[in-house]
Amino acid sequence: MDEISNKTLAILLIGAIVISLGGTLISLNRLARIKMPMITGFYGAAEEAIVQLEIEGIVQVKFTIDTIDWGSGYVNSTATFCVLNSYDAAIGANCSSFTPQTAGLVLENVGNKNVTLNISMEKNAADFITGSSPVCKWNVSESESGSAPGLALTPGDWQTCATTAVVVCNSTGNGFLATDSSDTLHLDVLVQIPSDAAPGAKTNVMTASAAQI
């Protein structure tokens, strides 16, 4: 599916803004006609006050895109396997009826502390997909440049789905940053479904564990 162009979006947005501003102006004009008793401020002697607050620390990472759903489908009878990934606009050769996924998963450091990051999967390929020689892999890259100075993996390199956690970011360069402009990672998943995989709903869970640096 093609995205709607930026131009169309811009036109729609400008239209909405113009109409909203028009409405606001009309409303403000009408409000101005409402008469209220005159109230004025009283100027007193200058007073000093102390404004104090303390911001607590928070360690939290969150998947802002948290699901990959290829839907249901099957491996063509002439093939021994087919491959699905979370970044191609088309499903793999020999796959039928699945829905292509392109957004992957997006993980953001929404806390105010830099963290180290580990990733694990709930199931390995055999438990997730079943059948002969199934494959389940994931990879990571920076969604916002400079988000992870402590990236311990080569961006785009495939990691095997395993219940044992993989160190994604260590504490080098402050690990996975909490800075709003650079605090987002992108994760893609790839699965290879053998033709003899047991039918049924297949679910796996990716767990991101963040630890304070």
- Chain contacts with other proteins (rule: CB under 8 A): 1-5, 8-9, 12-13, 15-16, 19-20, 22-23, 26, 54-64, 66-70, 86, 103, 105, 110-111, 113, 122, 189, 191, 202-212
Q: Of 26 and 167, which has the nearer Cβ to other proteins?
A: 26
In whole angstroms, the minimum distance from the beta carbon of 101 to other proteins comes to 9
- Alpha carbon 205 to chain centroid distance? 15
Q: Of 78 and 203, which has the nearer Cβ to other proteins?
A: 203
C-alpha span between 28 and 30 (Å, rounded): 5
Q: CB 2: neighbour CB atoms within 10 A?
A: 5
Q: Of 16 and 167, which has the nearer Cβ to other proteins?
A: 16
Q: Of 58 and 156, which has the nearer Cβ to other proteins?
A: 58
Q: Which residues pair with 187 in a beta bridge?
A: 105, 140
C-alpha span between 15 and 12 (Å, rounded): 5
In whole angstroms, the minimum distance from the beta carbon of 44 to other proteins comes to 37
In whole angstroms, the minimum distance from the beta carbon of 83 to other proteins comes to 14
Token pair recorded at residue 117 = 């990051």
In whole angstroms, the minimum distance from the beta carbon of 18 to other proteins comes to 9
Q: CB 204: neighbour CB atoms within 10 A?
A: 18
Q: Which residues pair with 62 in a beta bridge?
A: 108
In whole angstroms, the minimum distance from the beta carbon of 46 to other proteins comes to 33
Strand, helix or coil for residue 26: helix
Strand, helix or coil for residue 173: helix
Q: Of 36 and 179, which has the nearer Cβ to other proteins?
A: 179
Sign of CA dihedral 127, 118, 137, 164: negative
In whole angstroms, the minimum distance from the beta carbon of 64 to other proteins comes to 6
C-alpha span between 165 and 173 (Å, rounded): 21
Q: Of 5 and 78, which has the nearer Cβ to other proteins?
A: 5
